[in-house]
Structure 1
Amino acid sequence: MGEKYKGNKQNKIPFNGTKKEYHTQCPFCSVQCKMKLVEYENHDQKEYEVIPVNNPASEGRLCIKGRNAHQHVMAKDRITQPLLKVNHEFVPISWEKALHIIKSKFTKIKQGEGNHALGVYGGGSLTNEEAYLLGKFARVALQTKYIDYNGRFCMAAASSAAQKTFGIDRGLTNGLDEIVQARCIILAGTNIAECQPTLIPYFSKAKQRGAFIIAIDPRETETTALADLHLRIKPGTDAALANGILKIIVDNEMVNQQFIQERTNGYESLKEHLASVQLDQVEDITGISIDLIKQVAFKFGKAQTGMIFTARGVEQQIDGTLAVRNFINLLLVTGKIGRNGCGYGAITGQGNGQGGREHGQKADQLPGFRCIENPEHRAYIAKVWNIDEKNLPGKGVSAYEMMEKVHQGEITGLFIMGSNPVVSNPNVNFVEEGLKKLKFLVVVDMFLSETGRLADLILPTSSYLENEGTMTNLEGRVTLRKATKKPPRGVKHDWEILCEIARVLGKEKFFSFTSPEDIFNELRVASRGGKADYYGITYDRLTQSEGLFWPCRSLDDPGKARLFEDSFASIDGKAHIIPVLNEDKKEKTSDEFPLYLTTGRILKHYLTGVQTRRSPQLNRDNNESFLEIHPQTAEKFHIKDGAWVKLESRRGSATVRSKLTHRIRKDTVFVPIHWGDNQSINRVTSQALDPYCKIPGFKICAVNIIPIDDPV
């Protein structure tokens, strides 16, 4: 090849080997940053260079997770053969034998206990094609109603709130580029700087142009450092805070009466409710002073443009749906939606959290955001799938409720793809006990995860570099992720695995796909006419563009970044305002459990850490979990900085190392979610669910902390 150089301009390294380039997208968060991975091979030694690629969402930026994502793909402990548990040990077997075992076990369970004794558990990082196919697999190949996915723990509250308020759920109602036009921005329960760091420049630019940024979070974070005002709220009291802000806006006539009259329903009920709200009570509930609440209200109420963003801090509550609706109420009463620099944004967590919830992984959903209990929707999908509508199962239950069904013995066979429920579910001890009771557990994964260790059979799957497909980012922009790297020998794509299992179960005619594009073309038809209409999106159009927004209803539809300019997607075309009570039915502290626990992410890890903990660069500085605690609180509990502590709740315990910091409330401790086993914080969290969307209340539970000498 002649002499080449590898590395950056400041540190050029002579290179005389071969070079391969892989164009791809980051597998982690919902921004879906594009990149090029360059593989240099010289004398059997391989090194890698990651080059950001310009795109509309991240504008050519990459965070540290994206720059090191390829490391887990190359990890030596990748599974490359099906593994069968024999005498408590995993042994490699052929794909032919693995498929035969699945056929035998699934058939026996169906014949003995009925179709609904089988369950399917998916994930928000699957491509649109695989999320769609997984839903079809559950309902056509297995004929079970029990399917749900880990996105239930991520976006469910925001999704439910948006659908009930606007009639449609697409993460952002505006494109990201409109953030810079907002003069007041509220960031409620979102730590963008660590969870979606490549978005931070949008907010920095907005601030440079005069925007006033308000962050609501019990902790100080890199995101709150960007804000002009940080409200260090008591965990779980967001709905009450929104009521206080609303009351001041309404009482001081900062509402947009024309917008309210022409574009909304329900304002009078809200106004009547707010008349009974007492600001001193809001102050007492939230820990935020009346003066600060007034400052927020006047800044947002008087601003000509404004946007509100929510994430897990607000949404992962047992009143998450209503809390989000109350923040959306702020937009509606001030008329700040449907125009430039005005709108709502739910900051999606998972890589395909948006697309993953649109096409059939949810218990109550069919492709295109159709409702599984709607006769017209059922008839349409049955026709697309060429099945009798009466054979299409009905509504199942949410992800955690599936774990309850497992524990109760109603589900005795489970198929898991793209998820690690032993770490991601609340009340993990209960979940783990249930999975151990299963007659047959199949896990599809790249690695031996905490859930995989409990499996009877593990099937090896491909990585983001190897698996082509479409992803839908937090804006609702559909992009095509190319994948030219070949998977290791013995590894199959998720969609291939589903098709092969369907074949051995005698359902091949419904799953005769030969490529992701083949699947996508059926998805297009299945979504046609639905709220999430992808019909006008094709691989050719995506290849020739930088992504298309849905709804995209025809081949000449350009898609649209901004929603609701003229009307909302509800039946009457209006947004629905509702009053939200200050009631707080969350778990309370007590003498036995005197502190509040809240959980979240950190910059260098992702979800349950199965992938990022296998990256040397990402794991180097964060190789164990930790507990953030205020120094005064630590002194009260006799805890020293860096000491091991046992964190206890009514459900279980976790062991983590303490980290003293003034950046958190004295009544609250924080632990990240990325570790399993005895460091798994979800051994502590509560299984209580939001009644509307069934998201667990991860963000608040009552705990006690005890110093210990060594981790157990």
Structure 2
Amino acid sequence: MNDNMLASFRERQQSAATETVYETQCPFCSMQCKKKVIEEKRAGRAKYRTIGMDNPTTKGRLCVKGKNAYQHAVHKDRITAPLIKYNGEFHKSSWEDALAVIKQNIQHLQTEHGSDAISVYGGGSLTNEEAYLLGKFARVGLGTKYVDYNGRFCMSSAASAGTKAFGLDRGLTNRIDQIADSKCIILAGTNVAECQPTFVPYLEEAKQNGSFIIVIDPRETDTSAMADLHLKIKPGHDKTLGRLLEKFIVQDHFVDNTFCRERTNGYEELLEELDVLQPEELCKEIGLTVQDVHEAAYRFGSAASGMIFTARGVEQQTDGHETVRHFLNLLLLTGKIGKYASGYGAITGQANGQGGREHGQKADQLPGYRSIENPEHRRYIADVWGVEESSLPEKGVSAYEMMERIEEEEIKGLILVGSNPVISNPNANLVDKALSSLSFMVAAEMFMTESAAYADVILPTTSYLENEGTLTNMEGRVTLREASRPPSGQSKHDWQIISEIAAVLGKGDFFSYDSAESIFNELRLASRGGKADYYGISYDRIRRESGVFWPCPSEESEGETTLFSQHFATDNGKAYFYYDGAASRETKKECTSEAYPLFITTGRTMNHYLTGEQTQRSSRLIAREFESFVYVHPETASSYGVRSGELVVLASKQGETTLRCSISEKIRTDTLFAPMHWGGTQNINKLIAGDLDPICRMPGFKRAAVSLRPYKSE
């Protein structure tokens, strides 16, 4: 072959395209849409495209985030080697050196200050295997009681409410496809059209089948545009609305008395409490008309079937637990639970917000939804782990309270996996101060986030295209995310990182796994007999059946698709009504004042996810929405001298932030709205107080008192 022929051959070889297909799941919301990412390489350059895959939950649908999720996985800014901070600057290192630094510092701090000197902070996007392993690592690898995760800010109100009312917390009590046949649907504090777009076709089908849809939200959204009735409530008054709906349902005789007397506890006590409510006065207080509230009660009470979905709008309140309990009361009063097309759904936010809270990375939980305060539960898990029950730490504190303990210097060290607390926590200025005060911090991260920047060691972790594992979607279906793309650079899976840290601390025998599946098989055993029982689920079975519902106690069990048809998961098999007299307590909520005359509420947008760590590294998504904003009603804007497109300053007792003003008639005149995806000067959580729900420890993200003024540069 002469030189010309050889050159021509090489040119043809370089121009030939090679195609690789990665079957996976979207890393973002709890719908967990299945998809294929197709990588085409030509002449050394890669191009990508994404197509949806058929599956029982989303049927091949994808939203704009899911279509572009590959962009952060292949981004040039990914951390691909361990980093160690010297004199305030990060430098690349070997894994061996990074682990040696971690070992030295953790052992020193625990020797000097005790096991609880180190804390572990996880995330709701970790796989079930990694969430399980993180809880085990905290308690066995470190012996610390301080472990919690960012799902505390997402689902804790719904989780605690479902557990208290029904004895069990699973995202949906019914299969998601039953929504289409439900005759009345209440969407309380959820904007699914932007946050979970692939959920919306079920609502559209329900409307076509004659369903009456009620949306509860202080602002007009793409979701409220679908509604037959929009209750544009004042922020933070959802608990009162729930009580009023109960009042009208009882008053108008829509109660299923047989169901209430045979299958519930506390019915008579609730009736006594509702009897004294004054609807006219309370409706004025919450910013709604008696007619609208009465109609909502009539529509739900009279419907042959009904479902209620709650999300962060009503849950992220300092009385979020009680609020959700009152909405669950509506289901119990009308007997719309445990039946086809009737039930409850907590619209899970994070990819594995459901599974993440079931298997032990919460302060109060052990795998299988067991309680760390229950001696029998502790003994069972200790036996599975091969340790003495007495060696397991006691209950710790919630995620934000860990930040307070760090700021108080009770906690000296932090291991952060899959979260960005500087942006996601309330009272962000305190979190900044807390992380600055740490003696030692490790972060397992893909990118240099606002929180990772505080670390002394950063360990590079794999993306969703590279990291196999199970996740539990919104409806309680355990799915398997296949991941065949090779790890980027020296990055490792979170479960490998956890295991390697445990090994250098002398606990390697408890963490000797060779795959995610081997961890899952231990998780199955650890969950066996618990309320979140995964024992009958295996990787092979998930592949065969496209996901399996829990509880699934044996390989012969089909998994329960409609919960509570015969009995509830409580001690006596009956559900529990909630009435304020049962546990009356004062709930601290911010009120407006002369200094802070407006309310602000926060939320998500279509184009971004959580703290933006991933979506803001997508060129297509950041082009759609490259900065934060605040919605201001035209009348409010005029009163405060602010104009659309200009910067404004929002201030509260906790701090201030600067955002772009967007004039909108879709928000109440007394309320502002801003998304929570940005950090720095745009971090909206600088305005949010650290007050917590007394039951579930949820912060009050959805209501803060603020001032508004035009921005003036110095």
- Residue 466 of structure 2 aligns to a residue whose secondary structure is coil
Partner in structure 1 of residue 6 of structure 2? none
Q: Counterpart of 1:523? A: 523
Matches within 5 A, 1:77-156: 77-156=77-156
Select between 575-584 and 502-511 the one with higher mean Cα deviation.
Answer: 575-584
Match of 2:687 in 1: 684
Which of residues 612, 619, 638 is equivalent to 1:609? 612
* 1:540-551 equivalences in 2 (<5 Å): 540-551=540-551
Partner of 1:160: 160
Name the counterpart of 2:353: 353
CA contact (8 A) 1:183 1:206 kept: yes
* Corresponding residue number in structure 1 for 2:665: 662
Identify the residue that residue 404 of structure 1 maps to in structure 2: 404
Deviation at 1:16, TM superposition (A): 4.0
Is contact 2:124-2:149 (8 Å) kept? yes
What's 1:479 paired with?
479
Provide the C-alpha distance between the structure 2 equivalents of 1:86 and 1:647, rounded to a whole number of angstroms.
Answer: 37
- How many residues in Structure 1 have an aligned counterpart in Structure 2? 697
> How do 1:159-558 residues align onto structure 2 when only pairs under 5 Å count?
159-558=159-558
Q: 1:282 Cα deviation (Å)?
A: 1.7
1:124-181 Cα deviation digits (max 9, x unpaired): 0000000000000000010000000000000000000000000000010001000011
Q: Which residue of 1 aligns with 2:3?
A: none
SS at match of 1:500: helix
Cα deviation, residue 88, structure 1: 1.2
5 Å-filtered alignment, 1:597-636, equals 597-636=600-639
1:533/1:553 contact within 8 Å kept: yes
Q: Which amino acid in structure 1 is aligned with residue 607 of structure 2?
A: K
What CA distance in whole angstroms lies between the structure 1 residues aligned with 2:712 and 2:689? 27
Letter in 1 for 2:294: K
Counterparts of 2:694 and 2:56, CA distance in 1: 37
- For 1:665, the aligned partner's letter is R
> What residue is the counterpart of 2:675 in the other structure?
672
CA distance in 2, matches of 1:141, 1:584: 37
SS, match of residue 620 in structure 1 = helix
**One-letter code aligned to 1:629:** V
- Residues 597-640 of structure 1 deviation map (CA, whole Å, 9 limit, x = unaligned): 10000000000000000000100021100000101000000000
Distance in 1 (alpha carbons) for counterparts of 2:618 and 2:665: 30
Give deviations 1:456-477, integer Å, cap 9, x for gaps. 1111000000000000001110
**Other-structure match for 2:708:** 705
Give me the whole-angstrom Cα distance separating, in 1, the residues matched to 2:43 and 2:116: 54
Counterpart of 1:560 in structure 2 is 560
Instruction: Give CA deviations for 1:539-567 in whole Å, capped at 9, x if unaligned.
Output: 11111111000000001111121100010
Partner residue of 1:5? none
Cα distance in 2 for partners of 1:578, 1:39 equals 53
Q: Distance in 1 between matches of 2:665 and 2:492?
A: 48
Aligned partner (choices 589, 592, 609) of residue 589 of structure 1 = 592
Q: Secondary structure at the match of 1:449?
A: coil
Q: Secondary structure at the match of 2:201?
A: helix
Map of 2:12 onto structure 1: none
Q: Which moved more, 1:155-164 or 1:678-687?
A: 678-687
Higher mean Cα deviation, 316-325 or 248-257? Answer: 248-257
Matched-pair contact (CA < 8 Å) for 2:151–2:353: yes
Counterpart of 2:138, as a letter, is A
C-alpha deviation, 1:284, in angstroms: 1.8
Q: Is the 8 A contact 2:182 2:206 kept in 1?
A: yes
Q: CA deviation at 1:262?
A: 1.1
Coordinate RMSD, CA, aligned: 1.0
Letter in 2 for 1:615: S
Measured in 1, the distance between the counterparts of 2:645 and 2:477 equals 43
How far is 1:489 from its partner? Answer: 2.1
- Report sequence identity in percent: 56
Q: Report deviation, 1:709.
A: 3.4
SS at match of 1:284: helix
The 3-state SS of whatever aligns with 1:416 is strand
Q: Contact (CA 8 Å) 2:232, 2:288: kept in 1 or not?
A: yes
Rounded Cα–Cα distance in structure 1 between residues aligned with 2:191 and 2:344 = 16
- What is the CA–CA distance in structure 2 between the aligned matches of 1:426 and 1:87, rounded to whole Å? 30
SS in 1 for 2:243: helix
Q: Distance in 1 between matches of 2:625 and 2:489?
A: 32
Structure 1 residue 38: deviation in Å?
0.6
Q: Secondary structure at the match of 2:223?
A: helix
- Counterpart Cα distance in 2 of 1:94 and 1:37: 31
Q: TM-score, normalised by structure 2?
A: 0.97
**Residues 243 and 580, structure 1, Cα contact 8 Å, conserved in 2:** no
Q: Would you say the 8 A contact 2:588–2:691 is kept in 1?
A: no
Deviation at 1:382, TM superposition (A): 0.3
For 2:130 and 2:588, how far apart are their aligned partners in 1?
Answer: 38
In structure 2, the gaps of 5 or more residues are 1-14
Task: Indicate conservation of the 8 Å contact 1:536/1:556, yes or no.
Answer: yes
**Which letter maps to 2:630?**
L
Contact kept in structure 1, 2:154 and 2:316, CA below 8 Å: yes
Indicate whether 1:639 and 2:642 are aligned.
Answer: yes
The one-letter code matched in structure 2 to 1:114 is: G
Return the offset for 1:585.
3.8
1:521-540 deviation per Cα after TM superposition (whole angstroms, max 9, x unaligned):
00000000000000000111
Between the aligned partners of 1:89 and 1:549, the Cα distance in structure 2 is 47
Report the Cα offset of residue 701 of structure 1: 0.7
Using the alignment, how far apart are the partners of 2:452 and 2:155 within structure 1? 25
Please list every run of 5 or more consecutive structure 1 residues that lacks an aligned counterpart in the other structure. 1-14
Separation (CA, whole Å) in 2 of partners of 1:125 and 1:338: 29
1:50 match: 50
Using the alignment, how far apart are the partners of 1:185 and 1:542 within structure 2? 30
Larger deviation, residues 276-285 vs 231-240: 276-285
| Structure 2 SS opposite 1:222 | coil
List 4+ stretches of structure 1 deviating above 4 A. 581-584
Give me the whole-angstrom Cα distance separating, in 1, the residues matched to 2:321 and 2:370.
Answer: 20
CA distance in 2, matches of 1:409, 1:278: 48
- Alpha-carbon distance in 2 for matches of 1:578, 1:106: 45
Shift of 1:424: 0.3
CA displacement at 1:315 relative to structure 2:
0.2
Task: Quote the Cα distance in structure 2 between the aligned partners of 1:80 and 1:45.
Answer: 20
Q: Secondary structure at the match of 2:649?
A: strand
Q: Which amino acid aligns with 2:269?
A: S
CA distance in 1, matches of 2:380, 2:354: 23
Specify the code of the residue in structure 2 equivalent to 1:632: E
Report if the CA contact (8 A) 2:629-2:662 is conserved: yes
2:64 corresponds to which residue?
A: 64
Is contact 1:326–1:580 with CA below 8 Å preserved after alignment?
A: no
- For 1:8, the equivalent position in structure 2 comes to none
Matches of 2:347 and 2:157 in 1, distance apart?
12
Q: Kindly indicate whether the alpha-carbon contact (under 8 Å) linking 2:16 and 2:43 is maintained by their aligned counterparts in 1.
A: no
Matched letter for residue 676 of structure 2:
I
CA deviation map 1:334-358 (0-9, x unaligned): 0001111100000000000000000
Alpha-carbon distance in 1 for matches of 2:285, 2:695: 23
8 Å CA contact 2:318–2:587 kept in 1: the answer is no
Which amino acid is the alignment partner of residue 559 of structure 2? G
Q: Offset at 1:490?
A: 0.7
Between the aligned partners of 1:468 and 1:213, the Cα distance in structure 2 is: 38
In 1, the alpha carbon distance for the partners of 2:457 and 2:651 equals: 33
